[in-house]
Structure 1
Amino acid sequence: MTDTRGRKRRQPEGGLVEEGPLGAPSISETLALTGSGAKSAPRLRLEQHIALQVKRERVSQGLKIADVSRISGISQGMVSKIENAQVSTSLDTLSRLCDTLGMPLSKLFADFDRADGHAQLIRSGEGLEVVRRGTDKGHTYHLLSYKQGPRKLFEPFLVTMDDASEVFPSFSHPGTEFIHLLEGRIEYRHGNQVFGMAPGDSLTFDGQIPHGPERLIEVPIRMLSVITYADES
């Protein structure tokens, strides 16, 4: 089987985050970033993390800085500096602030050391177009996950076929393959068995047994193909 590494058609573009005066996004920018899940914010310093937690809690309760200052006995200027990560304050002051907001002190530090995620988002139409054995028979393959590290565990493809008169070769490869038909109708062979498939149908099989399209009944055909490989560690 042809190596799946091929030319890249398009790749996702990461967004840029403007830096604030402390070399990190402002609190308002960070609130927007953490709420959307669309971008990755740089790691915050402890003062910035505390500032984010305090401001988020105050805003959620509809309180003004003046309200927090009056109840806690902490000056408005100090509350403002805490919320903007402009000061490192004592635990006693933070404890009074938390009592005013009705939140445990431990919540200020929650998730501060949370590990970075390693999720990879591939948006519609942005998978890597790769060359495989069926490419010269009218199949188009878009790899939907890559950069998996030194050992490949699985390969997910979006496969498109649009030539109803073509004769297709059989495939054989290591691992287990799962296919899910998204669009069109197809007869798919695995060994001596032929399966008729319609949109929404799925098929799982041993990839080492010869398999492949037997007949394209209704084109275009779009299907998700996921090949998993055994972990030999």
Structure 2
Amino acid sequence: MEQESFEHGQLEYYKIGGVIRKFRKEKDLKLLDLAAITGIKSAMLSKIENGRMIPTIPTLFTIMNKLGIRPEHFFSHLYADNTFPGYLLLPKETFAAYEKEEGAIGFQYQSILESSHDGGAFQISLLTLFPGSNRPQVTTAAYEFIYVLEGSLEYQLEDKTFEMDTGDALFFDGNIAHVPINSKNKMVRLLVLYLFTDNNK
């Protein structure tokens, strides 16, 4: 059997949640189904899949075991080619839509760029909030930088609320429970930078 090689890649650990979701859906399992067979609470699994928590090694191997995924196959999805020609052109057609929170209403995410570096990683996303968008407050194992490209919104950090308009920016520790709120009748577009560091794992 041919062995999968990781010699020229770097582990992009922030992708773990998305890979777990991919394999779970391939097995046609709901989040509650995975919780039942692993003994891990669905709330924790949701945080892991949404990239808001990095699982411990025992937790990760429990999930892989119950999904029937070989570790080498799982980790092959987490390595990337680190060659960089000195520039990157990113046409909007290449932005990849992804799901951040199951059950969130009116949240549309698109990944613009993801990269690992020594001591951490970053992800740049475009977040569109449609009128009436709704989601509970969540936490993320990363620092977050929010820049309002278009529209007005409220951004809640636990019991604090910030009014934000086009051109405003907000930087915070994602371990603080947070949620953006679009109570207007117009779409809001945000540029979101997730900065994953060893301190946030």
TM-score by length of 1: 0.46
Matched with 1:141 is 109
Deviates more, 1:205-214 or 1:149-158: 149-158
Q: Separation in 1 of the partners of 2:192 and 2:185?
A: 18
Query: Bigger CA drift: 198-207 or 144-153?
Result: 144-153
Query: What SS is found at the alignment partner of 1:138?
Result: strand
List aligned pairs for 1:59-98, cutoff 5 A.
Answer: none
**Where does residue 121 of structure 2 map in the other structure?**
153
Q: Map 1:1-233 to 2 at 5 A.
A: 3-4=17-18, 117-133=85-101, 136-146=104-114, 148=116, 153-162=121-130, 164-231=131-198
Verify the 8 A CA contact 1:194 1:214 in the aligned structure 2: no
Supply the AA of the counterpart residue of 1:126: T
Structure 2 CA distance for partners of 1:217 and 1:116, relative to 1, 3 Å: closer
Q: Between the two proteins, what is the percent identity of the paired residues?
A: 23
Deviation at 1:125, TM superposition (A): 3.4
Aligned-pair CA distance for 1:152: 5.6
Aligned residues of 2:104 and 2:135 also touching (Cα < 8 A): no
CA gap 1:184/1:135 in 2 versus in 1, 3 angstroms: farther
Question: Number of paired residues?
Answer: 124
Q: Could you list the per-position Cα deviations for residues 66-114 of structure 1 after superposition, in whole angstroms to 9, with x for gaps in the alignment? A: xxxxxxxxxxxxxxxxxxxxxxxxxxxxxxxxxxxxxxxxxxxxxxxxx
Contact 2:114 2:124 in 1 (8 A): no
Over residues 7-54 of structure 1, what are the superposed CA-to-partner deviations in whole Å (9 max), with x where a residue is unaligned?
8xxxxxxxxxxxxxxxxxxxxxxxxxxxxxxxxxxxxxxxxxxxxxxx
SS at match of 1:194: strand
Aligned CA distance change for structure 1 residues 116 and 193 (closer, same or farther; 3 Å): closer
For structure 2, which runs of at least 5 residues remain unmatched after alignment?
Answer: 1-13, 23-82
Q: Aligned partners of 2:88, 2:103: CA distance in 1, in Å?
A: 26
Contact 1:182–1:199 under 8 Å retained in 2:
yes
- CA distance 1:166–1:140, change in 2 (3 Å): closer
Q: Is the 8 A contact 1:174 1:229 kept in 2?
A: yes
Which structure has the larger Rg? 1
Instruction: Name the structure where strand makes up a greater proportion of residues.
Output: 2
User: What SS does the aligned partner of 1:143 have?
Assistant: strand
CA root-mean-square deviation: 3.0
